[in-house]
Structure 1
């Protein structure tokens, strides 16, 4: 079975911490997705399409996800340029 762009994104750019009450909020999760798309030279899907896909895979508001990998670095440095 082929994995969708969204499955690949979740696998490469997030990790699940089920023991934590932490949830990656909606804005950072979509921002992480757009960073992942940029790094992988893929066109990001519309935000409504992204959220429809996420709703089939996880609870967007209680997801236990954390950022990881190059997309996390890109997202953080792009969102908070004063850190550099």
Structure 2
């Protein structure tokens, strides 16, 4: 069975951290997803489709326990906080 677009995002741009209280919130996670999609040359899905995809992947957006990682994390941070660059 093919891995979903959203599962690929989770595998490539996030790390599950059970000790992380809360983790990435829905807005931050969506921003990371947009960075991931753009870096891969993909058109990001709308927020509503993203939230549904996260639900199908078993991610609780209110308590994701996810950390960002990889090139999408760097892109997201630089885009969100340009003073850091």
In the TM superposition, residue 55 of structure 1 has moved relative to its aligned partner by 1.3
For 1:8 and 1:82, locate their aligned partners in 2 and report how far apart those are by CA, in whole Å. 30
Give me the whole-angstrom Cα distance separating, in 2, the residues matched to 1:44 and 1:5.
Answer: 10
In the TM superposition, structure 1's runs of 4+ consecutive aligned residues that sit over 3 Å from their partners are none
The TM-score, its normalising length taken from structure 1, stands at 0.95
Separation (CA, whole Å) in 2 of partners of 1:20 and 1:82: 26
- Contact 2:22 / 2:62 at 8 angstroms: preserved in 1? no
Match of 1:74 in 2: 75
**Aligned counterpart, 1:27:** 27
Aligned pair 1:60/2:64, yes or no?
Answer: no
Unmatched tracts of structure 1, length 5 or more: none
Unaligned runs of 5+ in 2: none
Report the alpha carbon displacement of residue 49 of structure 1 after superposing the two structures with TM: 0.5
How high is the TM-score relative to the length of structure 2?
0.94
Tell me the C-alpha RMSD between the 2 structures: 0.8
**Do residues 10 (structure 1) and 10 (structure 2) align?**
yes
